[in-house]
Amino acid sequence: MSVKRITYKEALEEICKGLGDEEFQRGLRTGVRNAEGKFLKILDAHPELRELASMVEDAKKKVISNLEHYIDMAMESLKKVHAKPYFAHTAEEAREIVAKIIGRGKTIVFSKSMVAEEIQLQHYLEELGNEVWETDTGEFLIRLAGSKPMHTTAPAIHLSRQKAIELLRKKLGIKLPDNAMHEEIVGAIRKFLREKFAKADIGISGGNALAADTGSIILVENEGNIRLVTGYPPVHIAVISVEKILPTFPVALAAAIVQAAWAGLYPPTYLNVISGPSSTSDIERKRVYGAHGPQEVHVVLVDNGRVEAAKHPVLSGQLKCIKCGRCQWECPVWQQTANLWGGPVYGGPMGMGWTAITLGLRDAAELSMLCLGCGRCDEVCPVHVPLSSIIHWLKQQYTGEGE
Amino acid sequence: MVIEAREIVSMIKDSMEQRGLPLPVSREAIYEWSRGLGLPSSGDYLLYTGGLYQLLPYIESLVIQLEKVGKSSVGGFALKLAKKVMKVVDVSKLVSKPDKEAKKYSEQVLQSIARLLSAASISFYYDPELDGYSGALLYDMGLLKSFRRHAERVYEAFRSRGVRRIVTIDPHTTHMLRSVYPKVLSGYELEVRSYLELLAENLDKLRFKTSSAGPVVIHDPCLYARFENVIEEPRKLLSAAGYDVKEPRRSRRLTYCCGGPVESLAPSLSKRIAMNRVEELMEYASTIVTLCPICYANLHRVAPRNVRVADISVLLSERLE
Ligand code: SF4
CATH code assigned at A243: 3.40.50.10420
pLDDT digits (tens, 9 = 90+) for A360-380: 999 999 999 999 999 999 999
* Mean pLDDT on A103-123: 94
% of chain A beyond a pLDDT of 70: 99
Chain B residue at shortest CA distance from A20 = B268
pLDDT digits (tens, 9 = 90+) for B5-33: 888 898 889 889 888 998 888 889 999 99
Print the domain residue range for A244: 48-307
For residue A351, report the distance from its CA to the centre of ligand 1, in Å: 9
User: Are B212 and B186 within 8 A, CB to CB?
Assistant: no
Contacts of B82 in chain A (CB under 8 A): none
Atom of ligand 1 nearest to the CA of A325: 5
Q: Is A286 exposed, middle or buried (0-12, 13-18, 19+ CB in 10 A)?
A: exposed
Domain shared by A247 and A123, yes or no: yes
Domain shared by A98 and A245, yes or no: yes
Chain B residue at shortest CA distance from A378 = B226
Domain shared by A268 and A192, yes or no: yes
What is the total count of domains within chain A? 2
Contact between A397 and B142 using a beta-carbon 8 Å cutoff: yes
* Minimal Cβ distance to A332: which of B253, B268, B273: B273
- Taking the C-alpha atoms of residue B85 and residue B91, their distance in angstroms, rounded to an integer, is 8
Contact between B141 and A394 using a beta-carbon 8 Å cutoff: no
ipTM of the complex: 0.93
For residue A38, report the distance from its CA to the centre of ligand 1, in Å: 15
Strand order in the sheet with A235-241: A84-88, A296-302, A235-241, A202-205, A107-110, A131-134
Helix (H, G, I), strand (E, B) or coil at B237: helix
- Taking the C-alpha atoms of residue B112 and residue B125, their distance in angstroms, rounded to an integer, is 15
pLDDT above 90 for A209: yes
CATH number of B207-318: 3.40.50
Distance from CA of B216 to the nearest CA of A (A): 23
Q: Is B210 exposed, middle or buried (0-12, 13-18, 19+ CB in 10 A)?
A: exposed
- Taking the C-alpha atoms of residue B300 and residue B310, their distance in angstroms, rounded to an integer, is 8
Least confident of A125-134, A159-168, B273-282, B296-305: A159-168
Domain shared by A84 and A39, yes or no: no
Q: Does some domain include residue A1?
A: no
Domain ranges of chain B: 2-199, 207-318
- Taking the C-alpha atoms of residue B167 and residue B122, their distance in angstroms, rounded to an integer, is 10
Q: Does some domain include residue A298?
A: yes
- Taking the C-alpha atoms of residue B67 and residue B279, their distance in angstroms, rounded to an integer, is 21
pLDDT above 90 for B109: yes
pLDDT digits (tens, 9 = 90+) for A132-165: 999 999 999 999 998 888 888 888 888 888 999 9
**Contact residues of A toward B, CB < 8 A:** 8-9, 12-13, 15-16, 19, 37, 330, 332-333, 335-337, 366, 368-376, 378-380, 392-399, 401-403
Helix (H, G, I), strand (E, B) or coil at B95: helix
Contacts of B299 in chain A (CB under 8 A): none
% of chain B beyond a pLDDT of 70: 90
Query: How large is the angle between the packed helices A137-145 and A161-172, nearest 10 degrees?
Result: 70
pLDDT above 90 for A280: yes
Domain shared by A275 and A378, yes or no: no
Q: Does some domain include residue A3?
A: no
Contact between A332 and B259 using a beta-carbon 8 Å cutoff: yes
Least confident of A284-288, B44-48, B263-267: B263-267
pLDDT for position B192: 98
Q: Does some domain include residue A392?
A: yes
pLDDT digits (tens, 9 = 90+) for A222-240: 999 999 999 999 999 999 9
Contact between A375 and B227 using a beta-carbon 8 Å cutoff: yes
pLDDT band of residue B74 (cuts 50, 70, 90) is: very low
* Domain's final residue, options A257, A274, A307: A307
Please tell me if the CB atom of residue A244 comes closer than 6 angstroms to any atom of ligand 1: no
A338: left (phi over 0), alpha (psi -120 to 50) or beta: left
* Minimal Cβ distance to A15: which of B257, B259, B269: B269
- Taking the C-alpha atoms of residue A25 and residue A37, their distance in angstroms, rounded to an integer, is 19
* Domain's final residue, options A282, A307, A332: A307
Distance from CA of A40 to the nearest CA of B (A): 11
Find residue B289's DSSP bridge partners.
B218, B310
Please tell me if the CB atom of residue A257 comes closer than 6 angstroms to any atom of ligand 1: no
* Minimal Cβ distance to A399: which of B4, B9, B222: B9
CATH number for the domain spanning A385: value is: 1.10.1060
- Taking the C-alpha atoms of residue B11 and residue A69, their distance in angstroms, rounded to an integer, is 48
* Domain's final residue, options A285, A307, A329: A307
Report pTM.
0.94
Q: Does some domain include residue A33?
A: yes
Residue A163 phi, psi (nearest 5): -65, -40
How many other β-carbons are positioned within 10 Å of the β-carbon of residue B87? 16
For residue A4, report the distance from its CA to the centre of ligand 1, in Å: 24
Domain shared by A26 and A106, yes or no: no
pLDDT digits (tens, 9 = 90+) for A68-96: 999 999 999 999 999 999 999 999 999 99
Domain shared by A269 and A321, yes or no: no
pLDDT above 60 for A124: yes
Domain shared by A93 and A34, yes or no: no
Q: What is the 3-state secondary structure (H, E, C) of chain A?
A: CCCCCCCHHHHHHHHHHHHHCHHHHHHHHHHHHHHCCHHHHHHHHCCHHHHHHHHHHHHHHHHHCCHHHHHHHHHHHHHHCCCEEEEECCHHHHHHHHHHHHCCCCEEEECCCHHHHHCCHHHHHHHCCCEEEECCHHHHHHHHHCCCCCCCCCCCCCCCHHHHHHHHHHHHCCCCCCCCCHHHHHHHHHHHHHHHHHHCCEEEECCCEEECCCCCEEEEECCCHHHHHHHCCCEEEEEEEHHHEECCHHHHHHHHHHHHHHHCCCCCCEEEEECCCCEECCCCCCCEECCCCCCEEEEEEECCCHHHHCCCCCHHHHHHCCCCCHHHHHCCCHHHHHHHCECCCCEHHHHHHHHHHHCCHHHHHHHHCCCCCCCHHHHHCCCCCCHHHHHHHHHHHHHCCCC
pLDDT for position B81: 56
Atom of ligand 1 nearest to the CA of A348: 4
Find residue A204's DSSP bridge partners.
A110, A237
- Taking the C-alpha atoms of residue B246 and residue B218, their distance in angstroms, rounded to an integer, is 6
Q: Does some domain include residue A231?
A: yes
Strand order in the sheet with A245-246: A245-246, A209-211, A217-221, A270-274
